């Protein structure tokens, strides 16, 4: 009959190819699903079996590193380690010519450690399931260096002396003080002396000592001079007769490294047959005084940092007048009676 297809109608080749492609596509998807499931199960198994990172530590080869020596920092941990990374003071560590990383970054070596290597070192360890880290603060010991004394170079008698010694050192240096090569009682950075005496003048040095590096260093010499003060003159006699007596003047002063100069009025007194200067110039002796030795005498005392002058001292010298057959004795600053014989 017309309008009905035959039951035994054959399929076209196009239909067969479509079915084949569908079968291949379905099989490929099943294979991908199988592989994904397989690797996913393997990954779960791996993570399940992998131990977490724990007990991270950074251990130094020495707890007291000294500048100029070799130091190792070793980073260890429990658990499988995949990566190790080092940081210094919060930033990624950049190795220099002075340092090397070895054994998969497990060991950080400082070939010759220096003070700039001081700081906080952090080791970060990771594996696929965990991450942990540990830090170590390294303090490099060095010095002492650049030892110096600060303080006055001159001071008055009975003043208070304060000298300060400084040095570049880690840890802080200990100090020993010396005056003119002899140790004086002080072990701190400051040397304080109240009521300064003449014996406190001279050359000061301080010696710095580092108990970790076991090194010592000394400062340059610091000179201290006690300033001139209290200059005075005493006389063996102030009542003299011309051509028949001698007189000694003695000058005293407080201060160190003193030099003495005598003045008669405004003229310097120098040694001669009749004038003697002794005791380093502090004593002046006039033999067979004359009316021109009345003064005023002054003693000028100086040292490298100061000068002082005494009050004037006048001598009273009696002398004989012969003019017009006049005989009398004249005293300076004293009224006298003159008699004339005819």
Q: What is the pLDDT of residues 79-117, one digit of tens each?
A: 888 899 999 999 999 888 899 999 999 999 999 999 999
Strand ordering across the sheet containing 161-170: 142-150, 161-170, 190-193
Give me the mean pLDDT over the 264-278 stretch.
Answer: 92
Range of the domain at 238: 229-330
Q: Kindly state whether residues 181 and 269 are assigned to the same domain.
A: no
Instruction: Identify whether 107 is part of a domain.
Output: yes
CATH number of the domain enclosing 277:
2.60.40.10
Give me the mean pLDDT over the 61-83 stretch.
Answer: 93
Instruction: Identify whether 30 is part of a domain.
Output: no
Q: Is the pLDDT of residue 298 over 90?
A: yes
Q: Kindly state whether residues 214 and 268 are assigned to the same domain.
A: no
Instruction: Identify whether 155 is part of a domain.
Output: yes
- What is the model's pLDDT at position 124? 95
Instruction: Identify whether 341 is part of a domain.
Output: no
Q: Is the pLDDT of residue 134 over 90?
A: yes
pTM: predicted TM-score of the whole model, two decimal places: 0.66
Q: Kindly state whether residues 148 and 102 are assigned to the same domain.
A: no
Q: Kindly state whether residues 158 and 180 are assigned to the same domain.
A: yes
Tell which wins on pLDDT, 334 or 76: 76
Q: Show which of 122, 138, 154 is a domain's final residue.
A: 138
pLDDT tens track for 181-237: 999 998 899 999 999 998 999 999 999 999 999 999 999 999 999 999 899 999 988
Q: Kindly state whether residues 237 and 317 are assigned to the same domain.
A: yes
Q: Is the pLDDT of residue 142 over 80?
A: yes
Q: H/E/C letters for each residue in the chain?
A: CCCCCCCCCCCCHHHHHHHHHHHHHHHHHHHHHHHHHHHHHHHHHHHHHCCCCEEEEEEECCCCCECCCCEEEEEEEECCCCEEEEEECCEECCCCCCEEEECCCCEEEECCCCHHHCEEEEEEEEECCEEEEEEEEECCEEEEEEEEEECCCEECCCCCEEEEEEEEEECCCEEEEEECCEEECCCCCEEEECCCCHHHCEEEEEEEEECCCCEEEECCCEEEEECCEEEEEEECCCEEECCCCCEEEEEEEECCCCEEEEEECCEECCCCCCEEEEHHHCEEEECCCCHHHCCCEEEEEEECCEEEECCCECCEEEEECCHHHCECEECCCCCCCCECCC
Q: Show which of 105, 138, 171 is a domain's final residue.
A: 138
Strand ordering across the sheet containing 306-309: 267-268, 259-264, 297-303, 306-309
Q: How many domains would you assign to the chain?
A: 3
Q: Kindly state whether residues 221 and 233 are assigned to the same domain.
A: no
Q: Show which of 109, 138, 167 is a domain's final residue.
A: 138
pLDDT tens track for 316-325: 888 877 554 3
Q: Kindly state whether residues 176 and 147 are assigned to the same domain.
A: yes
Q: Is the pLDDT of residue 4 over 80?
A: no
Instruction: Identify whether 312 is part of a domain.
Output: yes
- What is the model's pLDDT at position 318? 85
Q: Kindly state whether residues 234 and 204 are assigned to the same domain.
A: no
User: What is the token pair recorded at 21?
Assistant: 């492609």
Tell which wins on pLDDT, 253 or 44: 253
Cβ neighbours, 10 Å, residue 232: 15
Instruction: Identify whether 1 is part of a domain.
Output: no
- What is the model's pLDDT at position 338? 36
Q: Is the pLDDT of residue 49 over 60?
A: no
Q: Kindly state whether residues 250 and 263 are assigned to the same domain.
A: yes
Strand bridging mode 154-155 / 222-226: parallel
Instruction: Identify whether 41 is part of a domain.
Output: no
Q: Which residues of 279-290 are buried (b: 16+ CB within 10 A; e: fewer)?
A: eebbebbbeebe
């Amino acid at each position: 009959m017309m309008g009905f297809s035959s039951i035994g109608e054959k399929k076209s080749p196009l239909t067969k190819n479509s079915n084949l492609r569908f079968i291949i596509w379905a099989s490929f998807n099943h294979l991908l699903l199988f592989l994904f499931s397989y690797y996913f199960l393997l990954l779960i198994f791996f993570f399940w079996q992998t131990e977490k990172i724990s007990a991270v530590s950074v251990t130094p080869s020495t707890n007291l590193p000294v500048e100029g020596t070799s130091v190792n920092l070793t980073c260890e941990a429990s658990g499988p380690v995949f990566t190790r990374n080092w940081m210094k003071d919060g930033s990624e560590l950049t190795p220099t010519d002075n340092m090397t990383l070895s054994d998969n970054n497990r060991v950080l070596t400082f070939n010759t450690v220096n003070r700039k290597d001081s700081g906080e070192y952090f080791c970060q360890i990771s594996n696929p399931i965990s991450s942990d880290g540990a830090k170590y603060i390294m303090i490099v010991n060095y010095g002492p260096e650049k030892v110096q004394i600060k303080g006055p170079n001159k001071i008055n008698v009975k003043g208070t002396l304060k000298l300060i010694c400084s040095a570049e050192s880690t840890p802080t240096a200990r100090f020993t003080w010396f005056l003119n090569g002899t140790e004086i009682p002080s072990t701190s950075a400051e040397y304080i002396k109240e009521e300064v005496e003449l014996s406190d003048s001279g050359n000061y040095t301080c010696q710095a000592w580092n108990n970790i590096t076991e090194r010592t260093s000394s400062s340059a010499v610091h000179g201290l001079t006690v300033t001139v003060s209290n200059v005075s003159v005493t006389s063996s006699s102030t009542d003299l007769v011309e051509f028949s007596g001698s007189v000694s003047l003695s000058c005293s002063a407080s201060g160190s490294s003193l030099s003495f100069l005598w003045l008669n009025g405004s003229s310097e007194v120098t040694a001669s047959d009749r004038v003697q200067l002794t005791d380093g110039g502090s004593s002046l002796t006039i033999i067979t005084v004359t009316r021109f030795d009345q003064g005023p005498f002054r003693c000028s005392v100086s040292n490298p940092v100061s000068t002082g002058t005494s009050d004037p001292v006048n001598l009273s010298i009696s002398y004989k007048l012969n003019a017009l057959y006049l005989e009398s004795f004249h005293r300076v600053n004293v009224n006298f009676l003159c008699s004339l014989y005819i």
